[in-house]
């Protein structure tokens, strides 16, 4: 796919953004600190939207897996276009063990 140089540069700049500092274990982005349940729901929605966005962008995504990929890490690896795993890589879909689809 063809892409404008300006678009490519802006994509690179976006990928260099630093994640927000976490003040406590359950603080996520703009969710209120005192409401842990809402923060968890927000984090789940943010993660699922991230995976959908990964599938929609035109640039290929390459995942390098070294170590354990379980839960959200496993989902991010599967959403990538190319996956390269080291000999130390271990992948786990825990939903299967308890009978859930994970979708």
φ, ψ of residue 44 in degrees (nearest 5): -65, -45
- pLDDT at position 18, please? 52
pLDDT tens per residue, range 9-64 = 444 444 444 555 444 444 455 555 566 677 777 777 887 788 888 888 888 999 99
| pLDDT single digits (tens) 70-98 | 877 888 888 899 999 999 998 888 777 77
Q: Could you tell me the residue ranges of all domains in the chain?
A: 5-98
Residue 4: the pLDDT is 44
Residue 92 main-chain phi, psi, to 5 deg: -145, 130
Quote the tokens at residue 47. Answer: 């993660």
pLDDT higher than 60, residue 102: no
Spell out the residues 6+ positions from residue 24 whose beta carbon is closer than 8 angstroms to its own: 33
- Name the CATH superfamily, with its identifier, for domain 5-98: 2-enoyl-CoA Hydratase; Chain A, domain 1 (3.90.226.10)
From the list 15, 85, 23, the residue with the least C-alpha distance to 32 is 23
């Amino acid at each position: 796919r063809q892409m404008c140089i300006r678009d490519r540069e802006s994509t690179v700049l976006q990928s260099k953004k630093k994640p927000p500092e976490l003040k406590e274990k359950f603080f996520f982005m703009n969710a209120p600190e005192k409401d842990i349940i809402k923060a968890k729901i927000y984090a789940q929605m943010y993660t699922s939207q991230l995976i959908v966005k990964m599938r929609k962008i035109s640039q290929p995504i390459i995942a390098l897996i070294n170590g354990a990929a379980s839960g959200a890490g496993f989902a991010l690896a599967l959403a990538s276009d190319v996956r390269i795993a080291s000999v130390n890589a271990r992948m786990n879909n825990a939903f299967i063990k308890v009978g859930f689809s994970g979708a």
